[in-house]
Amino acid sequence: MYKALNYWVFGGFGPNRTPYEFIDFAVEMELDGVELTVGDAISPDISEAECVKIRDYAKSKGIGLRTLATGFYWGCSLSSEDAAERATAMDFTRKYLQLAAWLGVETVLLVPGATCVGWDDSRPIQSYASVWQKSVVAIKEISILAEKLGVNVGLENVWNQFLLSPMEWKLYLEQFESERIGIYFDVGNCCYIGRPQDYVEILGDKIKAVHLKNFSGSDCAGGMHGFGDDLMTGDVDFTAVFAALNQIGYRGPLTAEMIPFSRLPDLVLPDQELAEKTARQLKAL
């Protein structure tokens, strides 16, 4: 199993740590890889030469760079009603995929759109039908570049009030002819509405990468406070999840993305202690 850690746990929401420091940390914790984040660990305007340097450094240390993530799409959507915003999101995505290719990354994380961003009142409410239609147009265009560059696009199941069940995801993903388009499946994000093992069973080889976190629901659902700071505490049945992944023959990345919203409103990242704890728990899974 390839086990990695997401940069946000180690470096927070900003360029607080370098990719080289993160790679060294992964070596120290005996992980298989790291997930860099565009906009935090690395700039969207990073050069090809610097990407190659990071890629070669990771390779020299025996650390993989199989996935790449970003938080960009929460503030600039591929399915926005605003044409200028959609164009900006597409421009970013082209850079994002190119960076992935330069880094030797297999799969990038992408949020296709949101009908509502519950924690950001500045973001507009949008109809489900509109997000579906506009995101499909964008992703079909993106798939052409993904094919050319040899990079998978993993659309993540997130709290965007869009694609709320594994069957919706299946129907949505089957529209795309490219094998490069799939889901970046987060086992914790779906717990307020379903069981992660059911997603795995239904989506099968559409799963390009997996995020590991936990979630504790309450009052029939729960809120963001359910994302705690302990990978092993919560509603996720990792035995069932791994059994389902084995059943579909999944051999892709397993990346811990522990962002402890249970600590709101005083969330502080980066958190060295949390990063070390999560790495140890990840290895034990």
Helices (H), 45-161: 48-60, 83-103, 128-149
Residue type at position 85 = E
Token pair of 72 as six digits = 């960009």
pLDDT confidence of residue 222: 85
With 90 as the cut, is the pLDDT of residue 219 above it? no
pLDDT tops 90 at residue 249: yes
pLDDT (mean) for 58-71? 98
Closest CA to 73 of 103, 117, 42, 35: 117
Q: How far is 225 from 218, CA to CA, in rounded Å?
A: 10
Query: What per-residue confidence (pLDDT) applies to 221?
Result: 83
Provide the pLDDT for residue 148. Answer: 98
The band of 255, judged by pLDDT with boundaries at 50, 70 and 90, is: very high
**Rounded average pLDDT over 126-155:** 98
**Residue ranges covered by each domain of the chain:** 2-284
Task: Please indicate, yes or no, whether the overall pTM of this predicted structure exceeds 0.75.
Answer: yes
- Asked whether residue 218 carries a pLDDT value surpassing 90, the answer given is no
Percent of the chain with pLDDT over 70: 100
Q: Options 3.40.50.20, 1.10.10.60, 3.20.20.150, 3.50.30.60; which CATH number does 2-284 get?
A: 3.20.20.150
**DSSP-assigned beta bridge partners for residue 207:** 183
Q: Is 157 helix (H, G, I), strand (E, B) or coil?
A: coil
Environment class of 128 (CB within 10 Å of its CB; exposed 0-12, middle 13-18, buried 19+): middle
Q: How far is CA 157 from the centre of its chain?
A: 9
- Nearest C-alpha neighbor of 153 from the set 214, 75, 101, 84: 101
Spatial separation of the C-alpha atoms in residues 67 and 183, rounded to whole Å: 13
pLDDT digits (tens, 9 = 90+) for 78-88: 999 999 999 99
Q: 115-124, 144-153, 218-227: which has the minimum mean pLDDT?
A: 218-227
Return mean pLDDT, the chain.
97
